[in-house]
Amino acid sequence: MYQIGIDIGGTNIKLGLLDEALELVAHSSVPFPHTTAEDMAGTVGAGVRALLQAHGAALEAVESVGAVVPGSIDASGETVIDAHNLDFHDVPLRRLLAAQFPGIPVRIANDANGAALAELYRGAFVGCRTAVLLTLGTGLGGGIILGGRMFNGGMNHGVELGHAYLVDGGEPCTCGNRGCMESYCSATALAREGRAAMRRAPESLLWQKAGGSEAHVDARLVTDCAKAGDPAARAAFNVYVEHLSSACASVFNILDPEVLAIGGGLCGAGEFLFEPLRALVSRKCFYDTHGKIVPALLGNDAGMIGAALLGRDAEG
């Protein structure tokens, strides 16, 4: 039997097929149709059938279907309340997908929760009872594992680690508030710090690499210039790591997880990020000993794999 995982993004929809050993045996992607949710569900259905046919499997061999989205899910697990980059608002996603897969259980979840579940079964959290995933991208996503299971909040509304407050009255956040962890710990935040540093140092390597254009400054450029020893980029990077360490220390102080994994493109910085981060967290953490801080292992496949595992997690 197989599990289907669907990771719905604003550009592409990733489709994956997991076998009974939880191995990803086939995957594909289809463009996200910027029309209606009904069209999207039809696109997913057709894509899954094509994936199964290419693998020589029948729909009858599918045990469960899971889908994750970058947004909030209602407590019943039926409706996407808001997924802004999909333009989904109060969309009955589970019902729409279930219509494509008659008789097969369908579950939906937030994509960061799905990624955390994938790390539990196949990645950095294997063997853990308590773990936290922070994904550093355009925003900041987070997923929590408690008691060896995906934790979706005490009232099943989900968890929004990215919108925990970090700096009172700080930088504006996409949620409408100010000072959220997302405003200071996302890749977008590092790019903002880099642009500010570039303005202060027009002769810097960062300025040269960006051609003097703030539009060319992103988190990767800031990191690369910081690695190369540019003082302006290094100052921006240090401010960023200081904020990220405060967020991580708060996670350890609240949940005391065995492992805190960091995902997203910034993980490509390797020990240039993790070495100072670990040192700062150890200084700020309440506990003399705390859990490990490690890179997430599954990369861009985590959401798709986690979606496929939603059925397995529900049974557990």
Digit-coded pLDDT (tens) for 119-130: 999 999 999 999
Query: 249 and 133, same structural domain?
Result: yes
- Tokens linked to 42: 């039809």
Phi-psi region of 159 (alpha: psi -120 to 50; beta: other; left: phi over 0): beta
Query: 227 and 111, same structural domain?
Result: no
Is residue 203 within 8 A of residue 209, CB to CB? The reply is no
Range of the domain at 26: 2-120+300-315
Query: 114 and 69, same structural domain?
Result: yes
The total of other beta-carbon atoms located within 10 Å of residue 188's CB is 19
CB under 8 Å to 162, separation ≥6 — which residues? 139, 140, 141, 142, 180, 181, 182, 185, 186
Query: 181 and 93, same structural domain?
Result: no
Query: 288 and 143, same structural domain?
Result: yes
How many residues in the chain? 316
Digit-coded pLDDT (tens) for 14-60: 999 999 988 899 999 999 998 999 999 999 999 999 999 999 999 99
User: What are the CA-CA distances from residue 160 to residues 133, 164, 217, 307 (Å)?
Assistant: 12, 7, 27, 18
Helix, coil or strand: residue 102 = coil
**DSSP code of residue 110:** E
Least confident of 37-46, 82-91, 94-103, 187-196: 82-91
141 band by pLDDT with thresholds 50, 70 and 90: confident
> How much is the pTM?
0.88
Instruction: Find the angle CA(108)-CA(112)-CA(116) to the nearest 5 degrees.
Output: 100
pLDDT of residue 144: 96
The total of other beta-carbon atoms located within 10 Å of residue 94's CB is 21
Query: 148 and 159, same structural domain?
Result: yes
Three-class DSSP labels, 18-70: ECCCCCEEEEEEEECCCCCHHHHHHHHHHHHHHHHHHHCCCHHHEEEEEEEEC
Number of structural domains, the chain? 2
Query: 309 and 288, same structural domain?
Result: no
Query: 276 and 161, same structural domain?
Result: yes
Query: 99 and 213, same structural domain?
Result: no
Query: 141 and 93, same structural domain?
Result: no
**Terminal alpha carbon distance of the chain:** 17
Digit-coded pLDDT (tens) for 150-184: 998 888 877 889 999 999 999 999 888 999 999 99
What gap in Å lies between CA 205 and CA 209, rounded to an integer? Answer: 6
CB under 8 Å to 7, separation ≥6 — which residues? 13, 14, 16, 67, 68, 111, 114, 303, 304, 307
Q: What is the CATH number of the domain that holds 66?
A: 3.30.420.40
Query: 151 and 95, same structural domain?
Result: no
Query: 170 and 280, same structural domain?
Result: yes
The angle that helices 219-227 and 231-255 make with each other, rounded to 10 degrees, is 110
